Amino acid sequence: MELNRLLLLTSFLLHMEEGHAGPTQLVCDNRLIQKYIREAKDMENRAGQCQALPALNYTVVLPLVDLSLQQWKSKPHETKWQEILCDLALLVGAVAGAQGQVTEDCGTRQLSQLYQHANFFLLLLQTFSWEAGPWEQGCSPRSKEQTHITSIFLTYRQLVQGKLRFFFHDLAKDLCKQGQGGGRDPWCRTR
């Protein structure tokens, strides 16, 4: 168990050094989430262009990531955070399950990239702290079974474009104000 955590931490730190943002920078600089949305769209498009992507032999379970903006806004940050973590954990598991079933090079490359991106957000959000304590796996998000690989990419794009973007936008209102805490966070930029 400890070795797995060490490997995840190492992977996370290496991923951070490859140009991905830290929590404060990602929340406070709207351009970064827009970059991740574009990357999600690009991955979805490239996966759609892979030739001969067969249906999966075994279904994967994907989170239902649709949201009602009015309901979303009424939830506290911690609830939103936990919901997104549950969605990401299920999505990362689905990508891993699909990776074991795809042998075509283009599909394998795209799924590998998707796994890295989704896992990056999962690890990043786990670094956020709330008064209630750390997040623990074991949640049961709303889900659906799928056999189409493109559905996995669609789900990821919708998650980044929806819940993640709105979550970071809401956090930015609280965290990225000038003069907060006697000084301005050097990572935060006003919009």
Q: What is the pLDDT of residues 12-24, one digit of tens each?
A: 444 444 445 556 6
Q: Which two tokens stand for residue 12?
A: 């996370």
Residues 6+ apart with CB under 8 A from 76: none
pLDDT given for residue 11 in this prediction: 46
CB 148 within 8 A of CB 55: yes
Is residue 139 scored above 80 in pLDDT?
A: no
SS3 66: coil
> How much of the chain exceeds pLDDT 90, in percent?
46
Nearest to 152 by CA among 63, 77, 84: 63
CATH for 20-182, options being 3.90.550.10, 3.40.50.300, 1.10.150.120, 1.20.1250.10: 1.20.1250.10
CB 172 within 8 A of CB 24: no
**What is the H or E stretch that residue 21 is in?**
none
* Mean pLDDT rounded to a whole number for the chain: 79
Q: How far is it, in rounded angstroms, from Cα 169 to Cα 11?
A: 27
pLDDT given for residue 104 in this prediction: 84
SS3 191: coil
pLDDT given for residue 10 in this prediction: 46
Q: Which two tokens stand for residue 102?
A: 């795809």
SS3 161: helix
Strands (E), the chain: 60-63, 143-146
> How much of the chain exceeds pLDDT 70, in percent?
74
Summarize the confidence of residues 88-99 as an average pLDDT. 95
Q: Which two tokens stand for residue 138?
A: 């074991």
Kindly report the length of the chain: 191
Give the residue with greater pLDDT, 90 vs 189.
90
Q: Which of these ranges, 62-71, 90-99, 139-148, 159-168, has the smallest mean pLDDT?
A: 139-148
58 backbone φψ class: left, alpha, beta (φ>0; ψ -120 to 50): beta
pLDDT given for residue 87 in this prediction: 95
Summarize the confidence of residues 2-14 as an average pLDDT. 44
- Asked whether the whole model's pTM tops 0.75, one would answer yes
Q: Which of these ranges, 47-51, 120-124, 174-178, has the smallest mean pLDDT?
A: 174-178
Is residue 69 scored above 70 in pLDDT?
A: yes
Summarize the confidence of residues 52-67 as an average pLDDT. 89
Summarize the confidence of residues 32-49 as an average pLDDT. 92
